[in-house]
Every structure is written in structure tokens, then in C-alpha cells.
Amino acid sequence: MADVCNKCGMIKDLCVCEVLDKQEVTKIKVYTESKKFKKLVTVVEGIDKAQIDDTASELKRKLACGGTAKEGLIILQGNHKNRISPILEKLGYLKESIEVR
């Protein structure tokens, strides 16, 4: 028997709940901060808590950097704010919802 989505009740293969959750009109803010010893980190905020771990691991893999996901933020080591927008778009987030400062 096929797995069924808990949210919509459809078969997991046909379920589009995850894609629809990513396309909601939440603003995703991307900015850099200076941390200890003048090291730059890139902060991504506004990602839904259900997808924050998957998104963080995918960003770390594609950007080849370290980082963490905690308290609703994704913190990546280094300055990646110019490269992060296309990656988020490929992950299914809307271009209009991504704000790079």
C-alpha cells in the first residue's frame, strides 16, 4: 500500500504540499553579518520551520560551506548573498519572495 500524505490525504507520489508550502508569500531575507574575529556569515531568515533543515543542508552542499540552522535562521559561513538567490529558486522558492540586502 502506498504512503499517504497526512496534510492533504493524497498519495505521497502525487502530493504537492511541500511545493505549495515553499511558494507561500513569506519574505525570505538574505543578509551578511560580521561575527567573531571579523568573520562574515550569511544569514537566511524566513524559511518555514518544517523545511529549514533540508534547505540548510542543501545550501551548505551547493555553496560548499559550513553552517547551521537554529532559531528559524540559517547561518552560513562566508559571504554568499550574491550566490544564494538562484539556489533558493531551484529549491522551489519564488523569486519575488527572496530579498537580498
Query: pLDDT digits over 3-60, tens only?
Result: 787 777 778 777 777 666 655 557 899 999 999 898 999 999 998 888 899 999 999 9
Q: What is the CATH number of the domain that holds 95?
A: 3.30.780.10
Q: pLDDT at position 30, please?
A: 96
Q: pLDDT at position 42, please?
A: 96
At residue 58's C-alpha, the angle toward residues 57 and 63, to 5°, is 100
For residue 89, pLDDT beyond 80:
yes
Residue at 94 is within a domain: yes
Question: Whose CA is closest to 77, among 85, 68, 86?
Answer: 68
Residue at 15 is within a domain: no
The residue segments making up the domain with residue 37 are 25-100
99 pLDDT band, cuts 50/70/90, is: very high
Residue at 4 is within a domain: no
Phi, psi of 63 (to 5 degrees): -95, -5
Q: Please state the pTM of the whole predicted model.
A: 0.74
Question: Whose CA is closest to 80, among 96, 89, 92, 67?
Answer: 67
Report how many domains make up the chain: 1
User: Widest CA span of the chain, in angstroms?
Assistant: 55
